[in-house]
């Protein structure tokens, strides 16, 4: 009976595309690739292609590096979470790459924030003293 339950559970995981080991490897590869990328250039390219959004880092809660979330509200629709970030790591290297993702996102977000301020866009982004929340993401 236990073997049948285990077999059914394993089949469900495979059918639903939940393969932690495969996913974790590609997430680590993606995070590793951030070391080679230039976040300022990537942000300018995103602006040029009209994909203006902030990069977030997952963890116990979402975080938008480089943005003062005590005083700024960022609409969820304006945040793209970097794949592979989170508070559960598969290896020590995966844990180290979380910091790489945070630094990349902070530099990327700085360029995006400057662009929005230059365009005087505040519909989806606003810094209001005392109006932030723990995650910086609007409910």
* Radius of gyration of the chain measured on its C-alpha atoms: 18
- Within 10 A of 25 (CB to CB), how many other CB atoms are there? 15
The structure's pTM equals: 0.70
Torsion angle, CA of 82/76/60/133, rounded to 10 degrees? 140
Question: For residues 114 and 52, is the Cβ–Cβ distance under 8 A?
Answer: no
Q: What is the pLDDT along the chain (139 residues), one digit of tens a residue?
A: 433 343 333 333 334 344 344 455 588 899 999 999 999 999 999 999 999 899 999 988 888 999 876 767 777 788 999 999 998 888 888 889 999 999 999 999 999 988 888 877 654 455 544 444 434 443 3
């Amino acid at each position: 009976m236990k073997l049948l339950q285990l077999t059914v559970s394993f089949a469900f995981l495979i059918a639903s595309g939940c393969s932690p080991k495969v996913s974790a490897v590609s997430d680590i590869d993606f995070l590793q690739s951030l070391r080679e990328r230039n976040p300022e250039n990537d942000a300018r390219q995103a602006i040029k292609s009209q994909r203006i959004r902030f990069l977030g880092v997952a963890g116990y809660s979402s975080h938008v590096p480089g943005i003062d979330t005590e005083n700024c509200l960022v609409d969820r629709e304006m945040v793209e979470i970097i794949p592979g970030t989170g508070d559960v790591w598969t290896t020590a290297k995966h844990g180290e790459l979380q910091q790489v993702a945070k630094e990349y996102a902070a530099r990327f977000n700085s360029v995006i924030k400057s662009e929005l301020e230059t365009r005087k866009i505040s519909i989806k982004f606003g810094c209001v003293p005392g109006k932030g929340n723990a995650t910086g993401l609007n409910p």
